[in-house]
A and B are shown apart, each in its own frame.
Chain A
């Protein structure tokens, strides 16, 4: 028995979805409440979620509260729209760091808030699905920050940046910027394509880990053909995810049907 070494944690495969919207995103259905999301994830055997509303983190804590005792881990996340209209999923290791990042984002949203369209609702809710308040500012707008600025700010908040839905014809790194900018510190690319097809069409994507997330705006979207699986310690943290994306310490990631 070795002395002075930290014990090797038990690793296991965990089904994950790192891009989910709640009722705080105007484009999401009203059934995307913390209870419904966590219940659906439980039914689907998803063990790791990231809640990623547009430019807001207010509903993450409620989702984490509902997830308590279920074995499901919920990460603090946010989906950001850069100056170039590129969508980035940003994940953070703690509420404090996510809060601090959210404050920074608020400073870079347009000062002349657009109002919400008819029927659009952005609701901050409790773990009991009670509405705390309605956010009337249109949260989905481009920040006055470039993709590089956002990646840098996320790194300063000890977070991870994932380029969202890179195969979409708009709001994606590949459509808007043509190719992955050299040395952009994105931890992974979110795609629905298989690796070979993506690499053939976009050679600049070679070398980046790929993830498959739902970008769910309604409950049925959580049920997908393919999922990301992480081989990580049972007590999942963002650093476990970081290790898996880098293939360190026996941690790994794969996409499977």
Chain B
């Protein structure tokens, strides 16, 4: 699914410049502990989190994630946004709880691979 479609469907707030709107989102990973994301997220994943620390940018860049969505109305540090633009990582914000965001992503068709195979 295209990142631009997801942004529209979930009415996400754009926190940075929009880098790679035509990029395909492969899957979703949800966590606030960055160590978990380091161990488990995959390339092209959308990372859904409450974490607004600048380390999210370095990791998103390293793992080549499609974007980071900071949910639950959590604030993101200015430094994080500056670094994200430097690294060309798209950051989005939302006041919706991340459970709601995850649910909407699921409905959009971004289901865990194990479930997709069952269909």
Which chain A residues have a beta carbon within 8 Å of chain B's beta carbons? 83-84, 146-148, 170, 174-179, 181
Are B53 and A147 within 8 A (Cβ)?
Answer: yes
Most buried by A among B32, B33, B38: B33
Which chain B residues have a beta carbon within 8 Å of chain A's beta carbons? 32-35, 37-38, 51-55, 58-59, 77, 79
Are B54 and A176 within 8 A (Cβ)?
Answer: no
Which listed residue, A83, A84, A178, touches B59 by the CB 8 Å rule?
A178
Which listed residue, B32, B35, B38, B79, touches A148 by the CB 8 Å rule?
B79
Report chain B residues within 8 Å CB of A146. Answer: 53, 77
Name the residue of chain B whose CB is nearest to the CB of A144: B75
12 contacts between A and B (CB under 8 A): A148-B77, A148-B79, A170-B33, A175-B33, A175-B35, A176-B32, A177-B53, A178-B33, A178-B59, A179-B38, A181-B53, A181-B55
Are A84 and B54 within 8 A (Cβ)?
Answer: no
- Taken together as a complex, chains A and B put the C-alpha atoms of A178 and B88 apart, in Å, by 20
- Closest CB pairs A-B (n = 9): A178-B34, A177-B55, A175-B35, A178-B38, A178-B35, A177-B34, A84-B53, A181-B55, A175-B33
Question: Given A148-B77, A176-B32, list of 5 further CB < 8 A pairs?
Answer: A147-B53, A176-B33, A178-B35, A178-B55, A178-B59
A15 to chain B, nearest CB (A): 32
- Taken together as a complex, chains A and B put the C-alpha atoms of A146 and B54 apart, in Å, by 10
Report chain B residues within 8 Å CB of A174. Answer: 35
- Taken together as a complex, chains A and B put the C-alpha atoms of A178 and B38 apart, in Å, by 7
- Taken together as a complex, chains A and B put the C-alpha atoms of A147 and B59 apart, in Å, by 17
B16 to chain A, nearest CB (A): 18
- Taken together as a complex, chains A and B put the C-alpha atoms of A181 and B51 apart, in Å, by 14
Are A181 and B59 within 8 A (Cβ)?
Answer: no
B110 to chain A, nearest CB (A): 24
- Taken together as a complex, chains A and B put the C-alpha atoms of A29 and B71 apart, in Å, by 37
- Taken together as a complex, chains A and B put the C-alpha atoms of A178 and B59 apart, in Å, by 8
Most buried by A among B34, B52, B59, B77: B34
Report chain B residues within 8 Å CB of A170. Answer: 33
Name the residue of chain B whose CB is nearest to the CB of A181: B55
B71 to chain A, nearest CB (A): 15
Report chain A residues within 8 Å CB of B55. Answer: 177-179, 181
- Taken together as a complex, chains A and B put the C-alpha atoms of A175 and B37 apart, in Å, by 10
Are A181 and B37 within 8 A (Cβ)?
Answer: no
- Taken together as a complex, chains A and B put the C-alpha atoms of A175 and B59 apart, in Å, by 13
Are A181 and B35 within 8 A (Cβ)?
Answer: no
Name the residue of chain B whose CB is nearest to the CB of A85: B32
- Taken together as a complex, chains A and B put the C-alpha atoms of A232 and B77 apart, in Å, by 39
B62 to chain A, nearest CB (A): 10
Name the residue of chain A whose CB is nearest to the CB of B53: A84
Q: With A146-B53, A147-B53 as given contacts, are A178 and B79 in contact (CB-CB < 8 Å)?
A: no
Report chain B residues within 8 Å CB of A177. Answer: 34, 53, 55
Most buried by B among A83, A148, A170, A174: A83
Report chain A residues within 8 Å CB of B37. Answer: 178
